[in-house]
């Protein structure tokens, strides 16, 4: 039986998803028997031209991690899509934009101005900036074009499956590899296109902490109180994104007595991760007169209690949110959102 062919690529991310694939326990030993790794820039010495030479759909499965942040990310994503039978959005950055997606609160000019002019350690009297093309003595060098807007993988190519998590857990990666292997070797059916390889429930559904359905009247940062490890964090006033977040991570942060930051992204039932969480928070926030409906003053109080609303409610999902990005000048909107 021919081996399956796997490709893994690192777009705009931190590299943790690449490490996660190496960290699949004893499965890593059998991976070499089961699969040929045909393209994986951080681990295997294959070049882009090798990928370009592969027949279309000859790669069984590509695990693409990282968001789409520049022209190279997009070019390789399109090439891998063309060469792969199955395309997996691997990790929160590829699925929802992840932490890099928070850059959508600004734009590339503001980022460049800061990085190349304003940081404490920058010395750049001539205002040098990276150029897309540069003539060096050895020949012309070309750099990827940085986009204004961080995109998700499915913003640029057709995606078959989603494997969320920052990074995805060993259990979920092994589950995906099992599904693909059984399909190739035994003809087992694949899940429906678009399936998210994780639980369909919310993290709260699987959380072992006791819930008393009591309301709160202020919000604490995790270091501001001693968190009771038996009780729901939200009911202790610590923002935990469990009500709006997909289960499947093994409640790792909860077990470490830290609130969920939402890296598994929203469940199918949630249209907007942050909006849904804000609504959950509002439902347990004590109103001035104990009415269930929040008054304008109550809403203002609630919002001022949250120190960093975007970073709290959209830490992993801003490019997939209804907001998607901040648009600072309406006249410049097209330029900002198109790339
Ligand atoms: S999902 Fe998390 S671990 Fe994976 S690349 Fe993004 S930031 Fe890194
Ligand atoms: S809000 Fe957090 S701590 Fe509370 S039940 Fe949900 S996941 Fe558990
Ligand atoms: S508890 Fe939340 S933030 Fe932590 S790993 Fe699970 S989904 Fe991600």
Secondary structure of 86-100 in HEC code, one letter for each residue: EEEEECHHHHHCCHH
Pocket of ligand 1 (CB under 6 A): 13-14, 16-17, 65-66, 91-93, 98-99, 166-167
Nearest ligand atom owner, CA of 233: 2
User: If you write DSSP's letter for every residue of 41-84 in order, what string do you get?
Assistant: TTTS---HHHHHHSPTT-EEEEEEESBEEEHHHHHHHHHHHHHE
Per-residue model confidence as pLDDT tens digits over 91-134: 999 999 999 999 999 999 999 999 999 999 999 999 998 889 98
Residues in CB range of 281: below 8 A, 6 or more apart:
234, 239, 302
254 lines ligand 3 (CB under 6 A): yes
Is 328 a domain residue? no
Domain boundary among 175, 198, 221: 198
Residue 227 domain-assigned? Answer: yes
Note whether 26 and 171 are same-domain residues: yes
Instruction: Choose one of 242, 258, 263, 313 to mutate for the ligand 3 pocket test, by most ligand atoms within 8 angstroms of C-beta.
Output: 263
Q: For residues 72 and 301, is the Cβ–Cβ distance under 8 A?
A: no
Surface-to-core class of residue 305, CB atoms within 10 Å of its CB (0-12 exposed, 13-18 middle, 19+ buried): middle
Identify which has the larger pLDDT, 282 or 330: 282
Domain holding 16: CATH number? Answer: 3.40.50.700
Determine the 3-state secondary structure of 264 from DSSP: coil
Count of domains for the chain: 2
The last residue of a domain, from among 148, 182, 198: 198
Output b/e per residue, 118-128; b: 16+ Cβ within 10 A: eeeeeeeeeee
Burial class (CB in 10 A: 0-12, 13-18, 19+), 136: exposed
Tell me: pLDDT of 320 over 70. Answer: yes
Ligand 3 lined by 209 (C-beta under 6 Å): no
What mean pLDDT comes out for the span 189-205?
96
Q: Judge whether residue 338 has pLDDT over 80.
A: no
| Average predicted confidence (pLDDT) for the chain | 90
- C-alpha distances in Å from residue 19, one per residue of 8, 47, 89, 102, 169: 11, 20, 16, 22, 11
Q: Which of 198, 219, 234 is the last residue of a domain?
A: 198
Cα–Cα dist 309/215, whole Å: 20
Confidence band for 89, pLDDT divided at 50, 70 and 90: very high
Whether the pTM exceeds 0.95: the reply is: no
Same domain, yes or no: 169 and 242: no
Is residue 334 situated within a structural domain?
Answer: no
Together in a domain, 280 and 231:
yes
Ligand approaching nearest to the C-alpha of 64: 1
pLDDT at site 292 = 58
Three-state DSSP state, 5: strand
Based on the fold, state whether residues 32 and 165 are members of the same structural domain.
yes
Residue 210: strand pairing partners: 231
Beta bridge partners of 306: none
Mean pLDDT of 72-82: 98
Cα–Cα distance between 7 and 44 in angstroms, integer?
10
In this structure, the answer to whether residues 107 and 232 fall within a common structural domain is no
Give phi and psi for 125, each to the nearest 5: -60, -25
Together in a domain, 174 and 299: no
Is any atom of ligand 2 closer than 6 Å to the C-beta of 302? no
pLDDT one-digit tens code per residue, 256-294:
999 999 999 999 998 899 989 988 888 887 765 555 566
Residues 54 and 192 in one domain: yes
297 lies in which domain range? 203-307
3 state DSSP class of 311: helix
Instruction: Give me the pLDDT at residue 189, please.
Output: 95
Residue 100: Cβ within 10 Å count: 21
Residue 94 CA to ligand 2 center (angstroms) comes to 26
Q: What spacing in Å lies between the alpha carbon of 234 and ligand 3's midpoint? A: 15
């Amino acid at each position: 039986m021919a081996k399956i062919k796997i490709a893994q690529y690192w777009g705009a991310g931190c590299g943790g998803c690449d490490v996660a694939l190496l960290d699949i326990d004893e499965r890593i030993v059998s991976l070499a028997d089961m699969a040929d790794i045909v393209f994986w820039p951080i681990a295997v010495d294959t070049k882009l031209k090798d990928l370009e030479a592969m027949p279309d759909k000859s790669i069984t499965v590509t695990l693409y991690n990282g968001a789409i942040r520049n022209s190279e990310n997009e070019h390789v994503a399109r090439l891998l899509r063309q060469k792969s039978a199955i395309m997996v959005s691997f990790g929160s950055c590829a699925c929802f934009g992840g932490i890099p997606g928070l850059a959508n609160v600004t734009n590339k000019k503001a980022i460049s101005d800061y990085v190349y002019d304003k940081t404490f350690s920058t010395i750049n009297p001539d205002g040098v900036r990276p150029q897309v093309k540069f003539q060096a003595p050895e020949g012309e060098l070309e750099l990827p074009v940085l986009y204004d807007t961080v995109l998700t993988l499915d913003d640029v190519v057709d995606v078959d499956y989603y494997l969320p998590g920052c990074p995805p857990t060993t259990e979920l990666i092994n589950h995906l590899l099992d599904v693909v292997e059984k399909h190739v070797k035994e003809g087992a059916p694949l899940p429906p296109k678009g399936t998210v390889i994780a639980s369909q429930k919310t993290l709260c559904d699987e959380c072992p902490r006791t819930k008393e359905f009591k309301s709160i009247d202020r919000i604490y940062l995790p270091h501001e109180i001693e968190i009771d490890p038996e009780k729901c964090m939200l009911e202790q006033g610590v923002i935990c994104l469990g009500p709006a977040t997909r289960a499947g991570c093994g409640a790792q942060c909860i077990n470490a007595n830290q609130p969920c930051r939402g890296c598994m992204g929203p469940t199918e039932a949630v249209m907007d991760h942050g909006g849904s969480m804000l609504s959950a928070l509002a439902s347990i926030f004590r109103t001035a007169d104990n009415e269930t409906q929040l008054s304008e003053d109550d809403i203002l109080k609630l919002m001022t209690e949250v120190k960093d609303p975007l970073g709290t409610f959209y830490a992993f999902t801003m490019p997939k949110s209804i907001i998607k990005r901040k648009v600072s000048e309406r006249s410049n909107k097209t330029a900002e959102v198109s790339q």
